[in-house]
Every structure is written in C-alpha cells, then in structure tokens.
Structure 1
Amino acid sequence: MHSKFLLSSCLLMSGLSQAASLEESVAFAIDYSPEILAQYSRYQSVVRDGDAASGLYMPQVNLYAAAGYEETRYNSGSKLDTDDRGLTRTEIGVKVSQLLFDGFKTTSNVDRLTFEAEAERLTLISRAENVSLDVVRNYLDILKAETLLELSKRNVKEHQEIYQDIQDKKSKGLSSNSDLAQISARVATAQSSLIAAQNNLFDLQTQYLRLVGKPAVNLVYPRFDYALLPSSSQVALEQAVENHPEIKASLLDIDAARKEMRREKGDYYPELKLELHANKNDNVSNPPGGVDEDARLMLTMDYDLFNGFSTDSRVESSAWRVEEARAIRLRTEREVREGTQLAWNAYKMLEQQKSLLQQNVDAAKIAELGYIQQFNVGRRSLLDVLDAKVEVFLARRNFISTEYDQTLAAYRVLNAMGMLTYALRIEHPEEWQGENK
C-alpha cells in the first residue's frame, strides 16, 4: 500500500528535531502499521475476487489446438478390404460461449463479494481507528512520564537541599544523627523513584518507536476539541451504534451471507448458454488429405437432476453462516456499546477526580509550607516536614496522572464512536474510498 495520510492543517516535517504533534504521530503510525497494511491487502484481494466473478458476465472464448500421429485400421468385414495407415493428425477449434442463465449464481456471487469488499474496507477504517487510539495512549503516556520525571527530579533536588541543610546543622551541633539518617533514607527513596520514572519513560519511548516508526522527539501536549464530544452518554451510544465502522461491516457480512445462500440455491436451476463452435481437423479417422470442418451455434442446457443432496447441504450450511453473521453483529454492537459507556464513565469520573485532586495539591502545599515554618522554630520534627513533602509529591503525581488520563478518556470516547481519525483531522487516502461504490 503506497499511501500517505493528509492532515487538514499544514504539517512541517522537515526533520526529527522539530516538535512531533499528535496528529503527525498518528498519521505516521497508520501509514507504518503492518496490521493496517495486512488489512488493506485483504480488502484489495476481495475487490479483485469480485472483478473475477464479474468476468462471467462477459463472453468466454476458448481456443483448442492439437497435433500428433494417428494410426488407423479399417476393415469392412472382408479380408480383401482392409486399410492400415499412419497419418499426421491436426485439430484446431474455437468456442465462444455466453452465459444466459445459471440460477442467479453469478449475480449472487458478485453481490456477495461486493458486500464483503465493503465490509473489509470498513474493517480497514476500524483498524486505523484502533491504531490511532494506541498511538494517542502511548503519546499521552510519554508526555505524562516526562512530566512525572521532572516532578521526580524536583523531588530529589528538594530532598538533597534538606539533606545539605541538616548536614550543616549537624556540623554545628544543631541536629542529630537520627535526623541525618532520616533524610538520607528519604533522598535514597526519591532517587529510586527518579530511576523508576526514567525507566518508565524509556519503555514508553520504545513503544512509540514500534508504533510510529520513528523516535519520540519533542512531543507537544495536544489541544483537544471538547466540542466534538457528545452532550450525554445516551447521545454517545446512539452515534456509536449508527456510525461505528465495525457495526456497519457486521451488517454487510449478513448481506454477504444471504447472497452466498442465494448463490448455492442456483444449483436447483438449469444452466443455459449460447455457444458458437468452429473446428478444422485434418486426418482424423480419414484417408490422407481428409479435411473435416464444421461450425455450429447452439443453445445448451445443463441441468443437474441429482447430486446426492449436495446442493441441499450447501444451502443449509450457508443458512447457518447467515445466523453466525447475525450473532457476530449482535456481539459487535454490544462491544461497541460497552466500550462507549466505559469510556464515557471514565471521562466523567476523572473530571470529578481532577477537581478534588487539585484541592488536594493546594491543601498539601499549604500544609508543607506551614510545617517548614514550624520546623524552623522547633515546633515540628524533621519527620513531619519530610512526610509533608511526600504528601505534596504524591498529590501532584496523582493530579498529573488524572489530568492525562482524562484527556485519554476523551479520545477513547471518540474512538468508541468511530470518530477518532475525524477528530484528529486525518483524511483517509483515496485507495480507501471504495472501488465498488
């Protein structure tokens, strides 16, 4: 598949040193994805199968030719009237046939493959939606990991500053060994958290390289268009059921299964063809120089009167595939509804959490500042100050995680509705627009 995705806005991609937007990353990932390439190949294969089936509407022309040696023996019944001879035999002929009626097998098969091709095209779009969500999740996780890494660095720096202050006080006899040991332990814990944050970021960057095909450099926080979100979960569910490509594809699979059943029923009918034959043979069971030429135009009928109930079995088999397709459509709709409801619930709950966690950050910071002031006048212990710093660090970390998770939940809602690539202003290439429309 040689195709590139077009962004509605102008994208500057002159080098990896420039900022990589979320839209750019998704566009690169879709074009790079082996999963999407495989599905595109599947779609094109079914389209070509439909073209091959349509060929039966056209006249079929066959040329036959043969040359070889023929040994003939003629005996009229009398010992005196015999003739044995070897001859060079040649045959050449052409047959032109036009299908007139086959019990609607050809038309049903063409319709079946048309439905299947359109279903594969919609599945391709659904694959792009899922790959887009994978990239969005990884992109936001990297931004979150970078933010948490900076928070961890700041946490280590603050603990090291306290360590230096306690060490200075101890050298002046104003602090104890236990205080120094306490802050030393907290510095080690902060540094361990920093290493874990760095490792998490490296893992996410490796995932980005696998998804997008290039390193994660200078990622920028996306601006989500909240106007694209539905007004309620009920509206989200209705739009998801109406627009999701997987549901549309499952409906087309039902139509394709019905056409397959109609194709199998075609064996209950005779097959009618108009055939033109023209032949020229030489030395075929004839004396030397014997030329045999003929031409004929025939209306032929081929009617299978009994085939061991094979047609009945194939019809019943295809009828069960219709039922299977119906069950898959029902399952697909349930999965879409579930995914949409879960994404919507997460978005709304995280919105409430974020507000509370912001209050938590503000309160924890006020408490930390108060504890530091009280520690300086001897009213609080060092342990109280360190615990307060941990509270601030955890509150900030929880708020940052929730903020990014809420943004991801908003993108999940759009993905569940089948609208994520639309929201990212990514246009599908012309090859995806459907050749059977």
Structure 2
Amino acid sequence: MAKWLRGMAVGLAISLAGLPARAETLTDALISAYKNSHLLDQNEAVLRAADEDFAVAVSALRPVISYVLSAGTTWTRADTLGVTTNTDVLSASLGISADLTLYDFGRREATILIAKESVLATRQALVQVEQSVLLAAVQAYVDVKLAAEIVALRQSNVRLITQELRAAQDRFDVGEITKTDVSIAEARLAAARANLAAAEGDLMIARESYKAATGHYPGNLAALPRSPKIGKTLEEARSVAVRTHPSILQGQHLVKAADGQVALADANMKPTIGLGLDVTASTRDGSAADGDSLSAQLGLQMSQTIYAGGRFSALYRKALANKDASRAGLMQTVVTVEQNLGNAWANLAVFVASIEASDRQIRAAQAAFDGVREEATLGARTTLDVLDAEQELLDARASRLQAEANRYVAVYRILAAMGLLTAEHLKLGIPTFDPEAYFDAVKSAPATSSRGKKLDEILSKIGK
C-alpha cells in the first residue's frame, strides 16, 4: 500500500509539473499595482501626517505642564574692617507650571474643524491617486496584450509575403512575370520585416510600462475579462460622478476647511482667558539664610492684542478671499469632472463604432484578398495587386485590434471619471489601506503606552 501511495504521489507530481503555469490575469495585475505602488505609499504617509495635525489641534484643549530644574553655587568674598569673609552658597530649585486655556472665543473649535476637513480632503486625494495607479495598470496590461497581438500579426504578414515572394520567383522563373514583380515583393518583405522589428520594440516598451505600473515584468497574460458595468446612459453616470468622484468630495471638504479658516481669523481678533499655576521649591546651603522654601501661585489671565498694524484684519480678509476661491474651485471641479466623463463616454462610442467598421472592413478586405490572389494564379492580377490587397487586410486587422484595446481602456476611464475605479469597487479581494484605523488611533493625541503599541501594530500591518 505504501509503495502504491508513493507511486501515485510521484505520478501526480509529474502530471502537475507538465501543466502550464497559471496565466496572469488583469486582477492579478491590479493587485500587484496596488501593493507595489510607491505613489500610494507616499500619499498614505501624507494622510497619516494630516491625521497627526488633527491630534495637534486636539492637544490645544489640554493643559500644558512644564518644569524648570536649576542648581548652582555662589561664591562671595567680602572685606569688612580688615576682616575677609568667604561665602560659598549652594542652591537648587524646581519650578513646575501648568497653563490651561479656559476660553478662546472659538479658536480651538475652528482649528479642530480645519484639521478634520483637511484629513477628509487628503483621504479623497488618496482615492484619486489610487484610481490613477489602477488605471495605469489597466492601460499597461492592455498595451502588452495589444503589442503582442500586433507582433503576431506582423509575423504572419512576414510569412505571407515570404510565400508571395517565392510564388513570384517561381512565376518569374517560368516567364509569367517580370523581374519588377519580384523586386516589388522583395521590397514589401523588407518593409514587413521593418514593421515587425518596430512592433517588437513596441512590445518591449509596453513591458517596461507594465513593470513600472505593477512592479514586475509580464508573464503569460490571460485574456481580458468582461468590462465592468458603467451604467446605461451618460446622465446616469454623471449623477454617480457628482456624488462619488474624489476630486469633488475633496473640494467640498476644502470649502469647509476654508470656512474654518474664516472662523479662526475672526476668533484671533478676540481675547483669551486662561488659568495658570506655578509651584517653586528651592533649597539653600552655606549661607545665613539656609533652608528650604516652597511657593505657589494660581491665577487667571486675560490677554488680547489691541493693535497689530492691521495684521489681523488683513488675515481675516485673506481668509474670506480663500473661502470664495475654494467655492469657485469646487464648482469648476464639478464642471471638469462632468466634461471628462462626457469626453470619455464619447470616446467609448467612437471606439465601439470603429470596431464595427473594422469588422466590416476585415470581411471586405478578406474577400478582396482571396479574390485577387485567385485571379493572380490565373494571370489576371499582378504581384503588386496581391500585396496591396494583403496590406489592406493587415491594416484592417491592426485597426480592429487597436480599436478593441481603446474600447476596453475607455470603459475603465469612464469608471475613473465616475470615481469608482478603486480596489473596493473592483472587488479585488485584498487588504487595503484603512484611513480610519490610523485616524482613530491618533485622534485623541495619545503619547505612548497601550495606544502607542496600537499605532505600532497599525504601521506594521500596512508595512510601514
């Protein structure tokens, strides 16, 4: 039984070794692009920095406690009535102060609002970067597939023209055609080989773009999956874009942050009320006044700048201007998003029409090529006629491949224009950066202890 099991295991291993490697799918490419994107890493770090700005704003609600510790010696030499006295005094003191702002007429609330809206705006900027990364991966995947298909088409063209050249040479040998026909076939073969070399160069370039987008060179790429759904009408897609596009959402948060800046500029022209506590302990040794002392002072303070040369008024007017600029920028962003979506939708319609036209062109060119080649065998057509017909068929097939590639990418461009080209919407099934996790860990401005360990765990999970 043991020998039989070992034999089955060996046979299974040999069978599996003979199977071809699993083809890399578009989903695999998108996952690699998401995981290996340095651009995403950079913007995730920018978002974490914005989260810390919120923690800094929250810290303004808490007391500030500081201490001053000092120690020193004082040496004194005195000469009184011919009597010299040397005095060496050692002293040390410890002072602790605590300050708490009780009321600042809205400064802290405005600062926290600004920090929060800046965090939310930065999150949307990260989504926009994510869309760019994934769209670049889609484009790279399709480009490699297209370049490989063009290379295969060019290789087939070289083989076909080689056959035509041989046929022309045979016909020339029996005196059916002239040397000119053979030279035409030779010229076309040289051009076909040059086009093949260019196509192979395009494939190499596409492979480099793929590596830049995904972090590795492409292997055996699987066929393209079905395009994602984008809605039936432009109006339906536009309504989604206005609600979900990250650029629009980012603009909305920036407008709210600008409102907070206005409130902060207004509050800065008002007074602040604070509570202060100072405790000082000191000791002296080596003097007539040896001993320890302890003093404490508790009091309220109210302060306000009466005149600053118009600085605060200028800052307030500046905040108002920035608020108007943010609102205008948001409206322009909506216009731009709708325009980009409309352009992408129109391009998709053009590519679909191009595919249909190319299909008709291919059928007609194939029929013409078959007919011309048959007539050439009967002497009714020249070698040039055959090569021209073959070139038209090749161009039609190449146009069909290009149109299909453009159509496929256009769908993803529409998805990006709608704000839906994300790992979550595409259901890539991988752990993604959670902006809430880090924010929740730092929003209360923790120091270390258990909250610090939580921060370390979050950074470890995201590989930072």
Cα separation, partners in 2 of 1:430 and 1:189, compared to 1, 3 Å: closer
Deviations 1:220-262 (A, max 9, x none): 2221345x21111122222111110111011101111221221
Partner residue of 2:104 out of 88, 102, 105: 102
How many residues of Structure 1 are paired with residues of Structure 2 in the alignment?
A: 417
Contact in 2 for aligned 1:368/1:389 (Cα 8 Å): yes
* Separation (CA, whole Å) in 2 of partners of 1:353 and 1:402: 6
Bigger mean CA offset, 386-395 vs 374-383: 374-383
Match of 2:44? 40
Contact in 2 for aligned 1:138/1:207 (Cα 8 Å): yes
Partner residue of 2:175 out of 173, 176, 180: 173
Deviations 1:87-113 (A, max 9, x none): 323221212232211122122111111
* Separation (CA, whole Å) in 2 of partners of 1:433 and 1:243: 18
Bigger mean CA offset, 153-162 vs 49-58: 49-58
CA displacement at 1:280 relative to structure 2: 1.2
Match of 1:69? 73
Specify the code of the residue in structure 1 equivalent to 2:435.
W
Match of 1:143? 145
Structure 2 spans left out of the alignment, 5+ residues: 1-19, 441-464
Partner residue of 1:223 out of 215, 219, 225: 225
Match of 2:432? 429
Match of 2:281? 280
CA displacement at 1:41 relative to structure 2: 1.1
Specify the code of the residue in structure 2 equivalent to 1:62.
S
Does residue 1:245 correspond to 2:246, yes or no?
yes
Cα separation, partners in 2 of 1:382 and 1:225, compared to 1, 3 Å: closer
Identity %: 22
Does residue 1:386 correspond to 2:387, yes or no?
yes
* Separation (CA, whole Å) in 2 of partners of 1:149 and 1:432: 44
CA displacement at 1:331 relative to structure 2: 2.8
CA displacement at 1:299 relative to structure 2: 2.3
Secondary structure at the aligned position of 2:60 is classed as helix
Secondary structure at the aligned position of 2:295 is classed as strand
Match of 1:201? 203
Secondary structure at the aligned position of 2:416 is classed as helix
Contact in 2 for aligned 1:112/1:255 (Cα 8 Å): yes
Does residue 1:52 correspond to 2:53, yes or no?
no
Match of 1:3? none
Cα separation, partners in 2 of 1:423 and 1:111, compared to 1, 3 Å: closer
Deviations 1:242-300 (A, max 9, x none): 1101110111011112212212222222212222322112349x843143321233222
TM-score normalised by the chain length of structure 1: 0.89
Match of 1:162? 164
Specify the code of the residue in structure 2 equivalent to 1:88.
L
* Separation (CA, whole Å) in 2 of partners of 1:279 and 1:196: 83
Structure 1 spans left out of the alignment, 5+ residues: 1-15
- Correspondence 1:73-92 to 2 at 5 A: 87-92=89-94
CA displacement at 1:135 relative to structure 2: 1.4
Contact in 2 for aligned 1:273/1:300 (Cα 8 Å): yes
Cα separation, partners in 2 of 1:225 and 1:395, compared to 1, 3 Å: closer
* Separation (CA, whole Å) in 2 of partners of 1:279 and 1:373: 110
**Two-structure CA RMSD over aligned residues (Å):** 2.6
Contact in 2 for aligned 1:23/1:425 (Cα 8 Å): no
CA displacement at 1:123 relative to structure 2: 0.5
Match of 2:325? 324
Contact in 2 for aligned 1:114/1:436 (Cα 8 Å): no
TM-score normalised by the chain length of structure 2: 0.84
Specify the code of the residue in structure 1 equivalent to 2:211.
L
CA displacement at 1:186 relative to structure 2: 0.9
Cα separation, partners in 2 of 1:65 and 1:33, compared to 1, 3 Å: same
Contact in 2 for aligned 1:118/1:434 (Cα 8 Å): no
CA displacement at 1:399 relative to structure 2: 1.0
Secondary structure at the aligned position of 1:57 is classed as coil
Contact in 1 for aligned 2:48/2:438 (Cα 8 Å): no
Specify the code of the residue in structure 2 equivalent to 1:175.
I
Partner residue of 1:132 out of 134, 137, 148: 134
- Correspondence 1:271-350 to 2 at 5 A: 271-283=272-284, 287-350=288-351
